[in-house]
Amino acid sequence: MIWTLRRIVLIISARGAAIIMRYIHERAEWPKFQWNKEALADQLAAVRHRQGRLIGRMESLGFSLRDEAILQTLTWDVLTSSEIEGEILDPVQVRSSIARRLGLDAAGLVPVDRDIEGVVEMMLDAIQKFDEPLTDERLFGWHASLFPTGRSGMMRIRVGAWRDDSAGPMQVVTGPIGREKVHYQAPDAGRLDREMKRFLAWFNAEQKIDPVLKSGIAHLWFVSIHPFDDGNGRIARAIADMVLAQSEGSSQRFYSMSAQIRQERNVYYKELEAVQKGDLNITEWLRWYLDCLDRAIERAEEILADVLKKARFWERHSNVTFNQRQKDILMRLLEGFKGKLNTSKYANIEKCSQDTALRDITELLELGILQKDTGGGRSTSYSLVDL
């Protein structure tokens, strides 16, 4: 997404008269959201049932497997929430940061960059302290964690404070310069104090709404206010995860809503745009949100399969002493190494010489852990032996 200064958007009616587009926050009844409870009842019940079954199944696992499932879920959550915004993080660093903060004895721990530590810190604060109030100071802390250098890419932004619109209105815009399309324009900066006080008061108050529905409403409401210069999507998803943790009364995460949204990113933006340009009836948004959550819970089966695969791998090789470089590369391969592994990549990743890389790889070949790929060409590549 590209943020830029644009004029007010006009729509030409069938009779040729120009009318100003009204976004959801410009309606007189904002933010009194409405939805059809009856239309969502069966869908909500099915999601709640699947949610309960998954938690029960995961809790029946041994401690080590459950910890690995949580670690993998949280890793995917951080990676995909950032990826939705076009930011690609190192999965091994993300995993290492989470493992350290959770006190888990995970294989292949590596040094972690400051920006990754900040993303992880925000996410864990949201789900581990799900029962604590959400305040502006807490949100400012999350935002500062996301942008420790005070910059988003090359651009300096306001960190730990609401945006001030000094560069123009906050808009979601796509397309090349000169042919941009405005998808949404957020409330003016002058409204932010009032808007956020109202949102936080609602969020922290006792609700008669099912927490799963509250999660979808909170996500939509926050991202529609868009109170920060950048990072609004990631913080909105952290808020949604916080409410999902409330719905389960647990900080243990076994499914990732962000990972599923990443899978459905185009539909996600389409649904957001539709509801933000509509009226205050958000039934269709909640219908999609529940569907997406249902698919996220269903995909947790894949996480469980990966967890069991990794557990079998480390158990099978429990009598082998790996050096730290080998542990790191094996973890990367188990997490889904992108591209082909060769001695040059090994040496570059592990900051060692090519001779050392070849020696490490040769040991893993002799142990039957790695195998040479067919059709090596100029550079022989290696992969894990099928588990």
Known binding residues for ATP are 230-237, 268-269
Tell how far CA 295 is from the center of its chain. Answer: 15
Those residues with Cβ within 8 angstroms of residue 37's Cβ, 6 or more apart along the chain or in another chain: none
Which residue carries 């609700």 as its tokens? 207
β 181-185/151-152 pair status: unpaired
Rounded Cα gap, residues 56 and 248, in angstroms: 11
Known active-site residue 219 = no
| Alpha-carbon separation of residue 377 from 116, 354, 373 (angstroms) | 36, 18, 10
Amino acid at 253: R
34 SS3 class:
strand
Feature table: binding site: 230-237, 268-269
CA dihedral 142→143→147→152, nearest 10 degrees, is: 150
CA distance 336 to 324: 19
Residue 277 near residue 269, CB atoms below 8 Å: no
Strand partners of residue 372: 382
CA dist 160 to 172, 241, 330, Å?
21, 21, 38
If DSSP codes are grouped into helix, strand and coil, which group holds residue 159? coil
Cis before 31 (ω within 30): yes
DSSP H helices, the chain, are 37-59, 63-84, 91-102, 114-128, 136-146, 192-204, 211-225, 232-248, 257-263, 265-276, 283-316, 324-336, 343-350, 354-366
Q: Which two structure tokens, joined as six digits, stand for 214?
A: 């509250």
- What distance in Å separates the CA atoms of residue 164 and residue 192, rounded to the nearest whole number? 9
Q: Provide the residue type at 186 as one letter.
A: A
Which of 49, 143, 226, 317 is catalytic? The answer is: 226
Name the pairing type of β-strands 370-372 and 181-185: unpaired
Active site residues: 226
